Structure 1
Amino acid sequence: MRLVATVLLAAMAALFLLAHAVRGTHPFWGWVLAFAEAAMVGGLADWFAVTALFRRPLGLPIPHTAIIPENKDRIADTMAGFLQDNFLTPEVVARRMRGMNLAAAAGAWLADPTLGRGERLRSGLGELVAQVLESLDPDRLGGQVRGGLVRQFDKLDIAPLLGGALAAAIADRRHMVVVDSLVRWAGLTLEANEDLVRELIHRRANAILRWTGLDERLANSVIDGLYKLLAEVIVEPGHPLRAKIDEGLSSLAWNLAHDAETQAKVARIKRELLANPALAEWWQGVWERLRTGLIARLRDPEGGLNASLRESLGDLGRTLQDDPALQVQINRLARRMAVGLATRHGSQIVRLVSETVKRWDATTVTRRIEGAVGRDLQFIRINGTLVGGLFGLAIHAVEVWL
């Protein structure tokens, strides 16, 4: 558009020269001469006016030119004040947001599957979380998470909790499954270590028993007796050993909940476990597997995590659309947040605008403002050229009439 305006001005100059050379041959050329002369004046005047806003015409130090570069600091302060007075006051923000149903709009945005916006949000959110997990130092992050868990766990008085849980399980007979599992585990362990038990009995037996071969019979009797005992405990719900186990567990539950010495022992064991380097190493491995697995699931388009997130976003959108009471609450919350931001941080926002513009050099300010206004600046020159020519015709008409 700058080239078009310049070519139009050059064309008026050429037309002026042509009309001036042949103006005596016919009265028509007088009209052409008047139009071209006035068009040149209008085009040059508007070129000067447009250029003077952003730079010095032809580089000459003419007063009141290069207005924007010379006054960029004042313009920055004026822009900031205008922004604060007309956009960032609590009254304006509240008034503008009072007629907006942000919750319903967000619900429609999330729930409409044809737009794919919820899908893009889901993908963008998943990728953002994955990038955050990748960018953070795994060792440091895992240590921070472990440290937070350790601090919270250290504050927890775990003995009464264990005692209450154990007492509740005994009262509801839910501990019987654990007892049965322990008995079966004991039987399997005995079966897997029969040779070790026999060897232990042989070593403990005296020489006479070994010489007579009674140690082998003794070992068989011991092992068979243990198998029989375990089988009876499993088969008979009222077996005395079960009663002894229940009695011991009940005593342990009471001690955990009420006995200071038992609670102190549990607390000491807890502290020793938390201070054990092996626990820290184990947690670091667990955390790294969790982190890498979560990153892989977040980046898997067909993964269960993405499917759950997609479904959750759709449900959220439909809920926002269909629940007027929820819309009122969310809109009220959004309005209060926006008003609070304007109240607390409005001055900081406008100061950021002002300081940013002030830091720009004159060339940057000129280029950005001129680019923002765009083609209209050159239309000013074009209009000035054509309107000037029309005024020239009007003046020439008055001159001929007089």
Structure 2
Amino acid sequence: MCRPGVPDVGTSGRDIAYGRRRGRVERMERTELGKPGGGDRVGGTSARPAPSTALPSFAYTEADEEKRRGVRRMKTTATGLLLLVALVFVLATWAKNAGLGAWAGYVAAAAEAGMVGALADWFAVTALFRHPLGIPIPHTAIIPNKKDQLGASLGSFVGENFLSGDVVRLRLRAVGIGSRLGAWLAEPAHADRVTAELSTALRGALTVLRDSDVQAVVGEAITRRAEAAEIAPGIGKTLQKVVADGAHHRAVDLICTRAHDWLILHSDSVMDAVEGGAPGWTPRFVDRKVGERVYKELVRFVTEMRDMPGHPARGAIDRFLGDFAADLQSDTDTRARVERMKSELLSRSEVQDVIASAWSSVRAMIISAAEDDRSELRMRARASLLSLGSRLATDSRLQAKVDGWVEEAAVYVVTTYRGEITSLISETVASWDAEHTSRKIEAHIGRDLQFIRINGTVVGALAGLLIYTVAHALGA
């Protein structure tokens, strides 16, 4: 950067030395601030301010510094050419005044115009980044002074020309995302890659989620859904269909078989229970006879129920179940009792624990399937991706649908959030430091701008030579 009052025609040795000294001073200051007790001097003549916690707007990298050195070299070349033209002008003017020949006038005119062109282009190039010669001439130091306006203009330009719905739609339509995506997914290696990435994302999502939070949500959702739905009519319809189809007969057969086996195995227990319920004044041998008789009748009854499909007790069970199914659907008291039982059952801690633990089981199952390359989950996902890719690659209607979805989504994003996107550009540029911005831009485009100075010198010299020649010819 140029210091006030110092001409910025090229890069002089004094400017370079000043920059080096300034860099050394800044490094020394950073070193002092990094030492224990560095910063404000206690008892000294001055106090150093605390370092700012604000981060620089952007990093001035070593690559930028290398480009800046290239700019300095081109400045030296352009300034050297200006000095050469000035020297030619002085010598040609002397030769012209000394009468050494008519050629001297042509050379002097060309050199004079070359100096004018070089100085004019130097002024124009310098005015972009700083005040020429440190003089605050209006409309100079354009980039530092107009940085915020340039950022706002850049944001508006991007919003109007790049974030337009028509532009985005036409560009995406030309890309043909549907067909390209289909051809890409149709490759088995790509399908495997997408499946692996989806599995990783799924495992990551399940790992991030806290089990307690998910269990609470799942438990509340299941409980709320169960409490909101009346279950008695549904149970009644199911039971009615079971009875009508005779599907309950197997359950009755199983109960009768198990009851018979239990009676045979626990005969003493049954007779002891009957004897224990007899009056105390009856003789014990009478109680024993009664117990044996009751036991035998129970065994006979259960055996007949087991072996006779048309046993009256089986018919009574059928009628009972049919009536109960009808009551579950139409009887108000029965339905209310079932709902109370349901509420009591759901409110029990054991049931809530089972509901909450369901998430842990599901989570473990999903993670295990996602980690296993040969699991049914991953194989089905891979097959679905391959099928989708094949369809997308060949089905023009599906391609058009996918392209339409992508276009609508992209257009919605750019039209809805265009203000936020453009404000991001303008606010980012506004947050940049003016001096750093000017230096970085100059490092990237300054070399080409110095070519403008060189071209201005050459073009000015040619134009001056042409004008002098024409004027001399007309004057002759």
TM-score, structure 1 normalization: 0.74
Q: Partner letter of residue 323 of structure 1? A: D
1:306 aligned partner: 378
2:37 aligned partner: none
1:322 aligned partner: 394
The whole-number CA distance in structure 1 between the counterparts of 2:126 and 2:222 is 71
The whole-number CA distance in structure 2 between the counterparts of 1:113 and 1:120 is 9
1:77, CA displacement in angstroms? 4.2
Post-superposition Cα deviations, 1:307-334, rounded to whole Å, max 9, x if no partner, equal: 2222222222223333333334444444
Q: Partner letter of residue 387 of structure 1? A: N
2:422 aligned partner: 353
Gaps of 5+ in 1: none
**Per the alignment, do residues 85 and 385 of structure 1 end up closer, same or farther by CA in structure 2, a change over 3 Å counting?**
closer
Aligned-pair identity in percent equals: 25
1:237 aligned partner: 309
1:284 aligns with 2:356: yes
Gaps of 5+ in 2: 1-66, 92-102
The whole-number CA distance in structure 1 between the counterparts of 2:237 and 2:210 is 40
1:263, CA displacement in angstroms? 0.9
2:203 aligned partner: 130
1:163 aligns with 2:270: no
**Per the alignment, do residues 48 and 20 of structure 1 end up closer, same or farther by CA in structure 2, a change over 3 Å counting?**
closer
1:144 aligned partner: 217
1:10 aligns with 2:95: no
The whole-number CA distance in structure 2 between the counterparts of 1:205 and 1:238 is 34
Contact 2:78 2:451 in 1 (8 A): no
The whole-number CA distance in structure 1 between the counterparts of 2:246 and 2:434 is 80
Contact 2:218 2:356 in 1 (8 A): no
Alignment of 1:329-344 (within 5 A): 329-339=401-411, 341=412
Alignment counterpart, residue 121 of structure 1, candidates 180, 183, 194: 194
Post-superposition Cα deviations, 1:25-82, rounded to whole Å, max 9, x if no partner, equal: xx9xx99x96997997588457525535xxx679875543454454454445434444
The whole-number CA distance in structure 2 between the counterparts of 1:186 and 1:42 is 115
1:48 aligned partner: 126
1:383 aligns with 2:446: no
Alignment of 1:87-126 (within 5 A): 87-96=162-171, 101-114=176-189, 116=190, 118-126=191-199
1:259 aligned partner: 331
**Per the alignment, do residues 186 and 360 of structure 1 end up closer, same or farther by CA in structure 2, a change over 3 Å counting?**
farther
Contact 1:39 1:384 in 2 (8 A): no
1:156, CA displacement in angstroms? 1.2
1:7, CA displacement in angstroms? 1.6
1:159, CA displacement in angstroms? 1.0
Post-superposition Cα deviations, 1:278-320, rounded to whole Å, max 9, x if no partner, equal: 3222211222232233234334444332222222222222233
Name the count of aligned residue pairs. Answer: 389
Contact 2:127 2:141 in 1 (8 A): no
**Per the alignment, do residues 282 and 392 of structure 1 end up closer, same or farther by CA in structure 2, a change over 3 Å counting?**
same
1:64 aligned partner: 139
The whole-number CA distance in structure 2 between the counterparts of 1:352 and 1:264 is 59
Post-superposition Cα deviations, 1:245-302, rounded to whole Å, max 9, x if no partner, equal: 2222211111111111111111111222222233222211222232233234334444
Q: Partner letter of residue 288 of structure 1? A: S
1:162, CA displacement in angstroms? 0.9
What secondary structure, in the 3-state scheme, does the structure 1 residue paired with 2:310 have? coil
What secondary structure, in the 3-state scheme, does the structure 1 residue paired with 2:432 have? helix
Post-superposition Cα deviations, 1:68-103, rounded to whole Å, max 9, x if no partner, equal: 454454445434444444455555555555556443
1:160, CA displacement in angstroms? 1.0
Q: Partner letter of residue 126 of structure 2? A: F
Q: Partner letter of residue 350 of structure 1? A: G
1:363 aligned partner: 432
Alignment of 1:24-35 (within 5 A): none
Contact 1:69 1:363 in 2 (8 A): no
Q: Which of the pair has more CA radius of gyration?
A: 2
The whole-number CA distance in structure 1 between the counterparts of 2:262 and 2:465 is 121
Contact 1:5 1:378 in 2 (8 A): yes
1:220, CA displacement in angstroms? 9.6
Higher relative contact order (CA 8 A, sep 6+): 1
**Per the alignment, do residues 204 and 303 of structure 1 end up closer, same or farther by CA in structure 2, a change over 3 Å counting?**
same
1:185, CA displacement in angstroms? 5.1
Contact 1:46 1:384 in 2 (8 A): no
Contact 1:84 1:347 in 2 (8 A): no
**Per the alignment, do residues 184 and 336 of structure 1 end up closer, same or farther by CA in structure 2, a change over 3 Å counting?**
farther
